[in-house]
């Protein structure tokens, strides 16, 4: 049911920068709805990482940043660390009257 498309996986060496895209449409991201990002470590609940397209909750390292343009959004992780290995999900609202999540991206630290 996911209407937000993410790459299944991305990888990078420690210290590198990786980006995760989140592609939507004119009924969700393109309609101006905010995009949020969540990190899900193995076996745990999702944790809010970025809200309102580019804002970090307190306690989230500034290595994580978000942006939005048109019908897409992106999450960037700079200075990749082993502890960043997790699944990442984008989320927005769709004019079909539903909150929607992305397909999810697994980040692997090489």
Partner 1 sequence: QLQLQESGPGLVKPSETLSLTCTVSGGSISSSSYYWGWIRQPPGKGLEWIGSIYYSGSTYYNPSLKSRVTISVDTSKNQFSLKLSSVTAADTAVYYCARRSAPKDDAFDIWGQGTMVTVSS
Q: Cβ 29 to partner 1, closest distance in Å? A: 13
Distance CA 77, CA 97 (A): 31
The backbone region for 39, taken as left when phi is positive above 0, alpha when psi lies in -120 to 50, beta otherwise, is beta
Distance CA 62, CA 34 (A): 20
Nearer to partner 1, 58 or 83 (CB): 58
DSSP state of 55: B
Q: Cβ 78 to partner 1, closest distance in Å? A: 22
Give yes or no for a contact between 36 and 25, defined as CB atoms under 8 angstroms apart: no
Contact residues: partner 1, CB under 8 A: 1-2, 34, 36, 38, 44-48, 51-52, 55, 57, 89, 91, 93, 96-104
Q: Cβ 102 to partner 1, closest distance in Å? A: 7
Nearer to partner 1, 13 or 44 (CB): 44
């Amino acid at each position: 049911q996911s209407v937000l498309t993410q790459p299944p996986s991305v990888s990078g060496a420690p210290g590198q920068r990786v980006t995760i895209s989140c592609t939507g449409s004119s009924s969700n991201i393109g309609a101006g709805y905010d995009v949020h990002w969540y990190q899900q470590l193995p076996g745990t609940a999702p944790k809010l990482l970025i809200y309102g397209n580019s804002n970090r909750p307190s306690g989230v390292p500034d290595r994580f940043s978000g942006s939005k343009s048109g019908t897409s959004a992106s999450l960037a992780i700079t200075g990749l660390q082993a502890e960043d290995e997790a699944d990442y999900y984008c989320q927005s609202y769709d004019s079909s009257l539903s909150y929607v999540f992305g397909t999810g991206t697994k980040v692997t630290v090489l």
